[in-house]
Structure 1
Amino acid sequence: MSFNIALSGIAAAQKNLDTTANNIANVNTTGFKESRAEFADVYATSIFASGKTKVGDGVSTSTVAQQFSQGSLQFTNNSLDLAITGEGFFALTPDRASQDLTYTRSGAFKLNQDNFIVDNNGNFLQGFAVDAVSGENQSVSLSTTQPISIPTSAGAPRATANIFLSMNLDSRAVPTGGTVFDPTDRATYNHSTSVTVYDSLGEAHTATTYFRKMDPPAPAGVAAQWDTKLVWDDNTAHPTVPAPIAPATRNPKSWFDGGTLQFDSNGNFITPGAPTPIPTVTLPIADLNDNANGYLTNGAQFSADVVVNFRDASGVKLPTQYASNFDVSNLSQDGTTVGSLTGVDIDAFGRVLASYSNGDSSYLSQVSLVRFANVQGLKQVGNTSWKQSISSGEPIGGQANSGTMGSINSSALEQSNVNLTTELVDLISAQRNFQANSRALEVNSTLQQTVLQIR
C-alpha cells in the first residue's frame, strides 16, 4: 500500500512540474492563461472498517484549472492588434461560411489576401453588422456574426449635390462700384474661395465662389449687401459659351449668379423670414449636363442641381460681416471620387472605421465579444483558443463596453498572465515534493528488502 501512496505522490508532483513547466514555456505567448494543478486526497474504506485507524490511499490530480486573470497590455503600432480588458473573448471561425466558433484572447490580427481580418492561423475574426454612418450595431446575436472585411477602395464615386460654405466677409471692403463682374479682373470682386467637387464619374472640378460688396442704398434694416457668383472650372477657356444668366447682363466669360447676402449693423447675417429660403447659388443640371456649354467633357451627368449653401451642413454656422479679414470658417461638399484605403481605426466599442483618400470614412463592422458563465469550463484546443463545453455553459454574445464584456484596446496585445517569479518558486517546491516522494518510495523498498532478508 505504501508503494502506491508514494507512487501517487510522485505522479502528483510530476503533474505539478508539468503544469509549471508549461506556464513557464508560454510566458511570452500572447493571450495565454496560466494553469494550476489542483489535487485531492484519496480515501476509501468499507462500512465495517474502523475509520479511526484508516490511513489515506495517496493523492490524485483533481483538475488542472486555468486561471483567467487579466494579463498586462503591450502597446504596438498596428491598429489591428486588439486586446480585451475584461471578461470577453474574440470569436473566430475557420472559414467564411462556417459557424464553428472558437474563442481566443489573443488579438494579433492581420489582413489575409482577400482583405479579411484573420489570426495567425487564418481563422476569421467575427463581427456584428453596423450602420455605415452611425456605427450602431443591428444585432448582437452570435448567429448573425460575419467575418470582418476591410475594402481597399471607397466604392463608386458620388456626384456633388451640395456645397456648404460659411465665412466672414470684411465689412471694411470697398464696394465694387457697379462694375460688371469679371472673374479675371480682381477689381470687380472683393473675395473668393474655391472647393473641389466631383461629377458622376468621380472627376474633380473646381467651383469658385465670388463675393462682391454692393453699393448703397440697402433696404431698411440692412447695413450691407453682398452679391454672390460662381465660376465652374475657371471657365474662361470658353468665351463663346452662353452663361446661364440673362442676355442683357451676360459677360463673355461664363458664371452662375447667386443670391444676395444681407447683414445688419452688428455684422450678423439676416436670415430671410419663412418661407423664404436662405440665399444660395444654384447650378442647374440642365446647364451642367448640356454638352454645348462645355462644363462636362468626359460624358459624366449630374442627377441633381449643385447648390452652394451659405451655412455649414448642420445649419449652425452662418456668414458674418465683421471688421476682420475675409476668413472661411466652413467649406465642405458631399461628393466623392474613388478613394483608396488610408487607415483603419477600432474604438473601445470594437467599431471598425475605415478612412479613404477621398475623404470618405465609414463603419464596416463591430468586433463581436463573447462571455461564458464558467470560463474555467472551456475546453482548450490549442493555438491559445478554446471551445465551449458542458461545463462552460452557452456562449453569450455582446458588444464591447457593455456589462462584463470589457473594452477593446486597439494597437495593444494582452500578454500572458504568467508570473515568472511565482512559477520558479512553484518549480522548486514541486521538485522538492518529487524528491520527498521518491525518498518515501526508496524507504519502502529498503524496508521490504529487510523483511525479505529475515531468516
Structure 2
Amino acid sequence: MSFYTSLSGLKGAQTDMSVISNNIANANSIGFKRSKATFGDIFASSPTQSTKTVAGQGQRLIGIAQQFTQGSYETSEKTLDLAVVGEGLFVVKGDPPREQVTYTRNGAFSPTADGHIVDSTGQKLQLLPVDAAGNVTDRTLGGMSDFVLPSGAPSDPASSLINVSIGQDGLVSATFANGEMQVLGKVAMATFPAMEGLRPIGDAHWQSTGESGVPSIDAATNGPMGAIRSGALERSNVDITEELVMLIGAQRNFQANAKAIEGASTLTQTIINMRT
C-alpha cells in the first residue's frame, strides 16, 4: 500500500510542477492569469473500523484553479492597446459561420485592412450601442456589433478619419478631417459570477461554462467591470520569485515521495530475501 500512497504523492508533485512551469513560461504573455493546483488527502475505512488504526492513502488532485488577480501594466504608443483596471473581460467574436464569442484580458488590438479591430488571434472586438448622451442602450450579446473604423465622416465620406479615442468608460469617438466627431459605441465588457469556472482556450482567451455562470454584459466603469486604460497593456499576474520558490517546494516533495518508494522497495526486497 505504501507504494501507491507515495505514487499518488509523485503524481501530485509532478502536476504541481507542471502548473508552476506553465506559469513561469507565460510570465511575459499579455493578459495571462496564473493557475494553482489544489490537493486533498485520501482516507478510507469501513463504518465499523476504528480510524485510529487506519493510515491515509495518499493525495488526489482537487482542481487547477485560475487566479484572476490584477496584473501589472506597461504603457504603449498605440491607442488601440487597451488594459482593464478591474474584473472585466473584453468581449470578442470569431468569424462566420460560428461567430463564437470568447472573453479576453489581452488588449493588444489592431485594425485590419477593412477597418475591423481585432485581437492577436484575429477575433473582432465588440461594441455596445449608445444613445446621443453616450448611455448604453442594449446590454445583451445579441445587441453587440463589431468595432469597425469608419472610412469617412457621416456627412462627408471624402473627409478621412484622423483620430480615434477611447475613454475610461470605453466610449469610442472618431474625429475626421472636417472637424466632425462620431461616437461609435462603448467597448463591450463582461464579468461572471464565478470567474474561476471559465474555460481557458489559450492566448489569454476564455469561454463561458456552466460553472462560470451567465455573463453580465456592460460598459466599463459600471460595477465590477473596472475602467479601461487606452495606450496600455496588462502583463501576466505571474510573480517569478514566488513561482520559483513554489517550484523548489514541488521538487522537494517529488524527491521525498521518490525516497519513500525507494524505502518501501528496499523493505520488500529484504522480506523476500529472508523468505528465500
TM interval, shorter chain, is over 0.9
Structure 1 partner of 2:173: 353
Residue 267 of structure 2 is aligned to residue 432 of structure 1: no
Deviations 1:111-156 (A, max 9, x none): 112101101111011111224x543322122220111111121144
Amino acid at match of 1:36: K
Query: In structure 2, what is the Cα distance between the partners aligned to 1:409 and 1:98?
Result: 30
Q: Secondary structure at the match of 1:366?
A: strand
Residue 147 of structure 2 is aligned to residue 141 of structure 1: no
Structure 1 partner of 2:2: 2
Query: In structure 2, what is the Cα distance between the partners aligned to 1:409 and 1:35?
Result: 25
Query: In structure 1, what is the Cα distance between the partners aligned to 2:197 and 2:44?
Result: 28
Q: Which entry has the higher C-alpha Rg, 1 or 2?
A: 1
Deviations 1:196-241 (A, max 9, x none): xxxxxxxxxxxxxxxxxxxxxxxxxxxxxxxxxxxxxxxxxxxxxx
Deviations 1:74-120 (A, max 9, x none): 11110001111111111111126755311111101011121011011
Query: In structure 2, what is the Cα distance between the partners aligned to 1:64 and 1:96?
Result: 33
Amino acid at match of 2:252: R
CA RMSD of aligned residues (A): 1.4
Query: In structure 2, what is the Cα distance between the partners aligned to 1:137 and 1:443?
Result: 67
> Structure 2: any 5+ residue segments left out of the alignment?
none
Query: In structure 2, what is the Cα distance between the partners aligned to 1:139 and 1:438?
Result: 58
Query: In structure 1, what is the Cα distance between the partners aligned to 2:125 and 2:241?
Result: 34
Pairs within 5 Å for 1:119-130: 119-130=119-130
Residue 139 of structure 2 is aligned to residue 153 of structure 1: no
Structure 1 residues 97 and 399: alpha-carbon distance in aligned structure 2, compared to 1, 3 A threshold: farther
Query: In structure 2, what is the Cα distance between the partners aligned to 1:135 and 1:113?
Result: 28
Structure 1 partner of 2:87: 87
Structure 2 partner of 1:453: 273
Q: Secondary structure at the match of 2:274?
A: coil
Query: In structure 2, what is the Cα distance between the partners aligned to 1:365 and 1:112?
Result: 19
Query: In structure 2, what is the Cα distance between the partners aligned to 1:387 and 1:429?
Result: 32
Residue 209 of structure 2 is aligned to residue 389 of structure 1: yes
Residue 49 of structure 2 is aligned to residue 27 of structure 1: no
Amino acid at match of 1:380: P
Q: Give the TM-score normalised by structure 1.
A: 0.59
Q: Give the TM-score normalised by structure 2.
A: 0.96
Q: CA shift at 1:13, angstroms?
A: 0.4
Query: In structure 2, what is the Cα distance between the partners aligned to 1:436 and 1:404?
Result: 44
Query: In structure 2, what is the Cα distance between the partners aligned to 1:59 and 1:17?
Result: 15
Query: In structure 2, what is the Cα distance between the partners aligned to 1:138 and 1:10?
Result: 55
Amino acid at match of 1:414: E
Q: Secondary structure at the match of 2:173?
A: strand
Deviations 1:301-348 (A, max 9, x none): xxxxxxxxxxxxxxxxxxxxxxxxxxxxxxxxxxxx831111111000
Q: Percent identity?
A: 43
Query: In structure 2, what is the Cα distance between the partners aligned to 1:91 and 1:352?
Result: 15
Query: In structure 2, what is the Cα distance between the partners aligned to 1:121 and 1:39?
Result: 34
Query: In structure 1, what is the Cα distance between the partners aligned to 2:101 and 2:80?
Result: 20
8 Å CA contact retained: 1:38, 1:64: yes
Aligned residues: 275
> Structure 1: any 5+ residue segments left out of the alignment?
158-336
Amino acid at match of 2:193: A
Residue 206 of structure 2 is aligned to residue 374 of structure 1: no
Structure 1 residues 140 and 360: alpha-carbon distance in aligned structure 2, compared to 1, 3 A threshold: same
Query: In structure 2, what is the Cα distance between the partners aligned to 1:46 and 1:140?
Result: 54
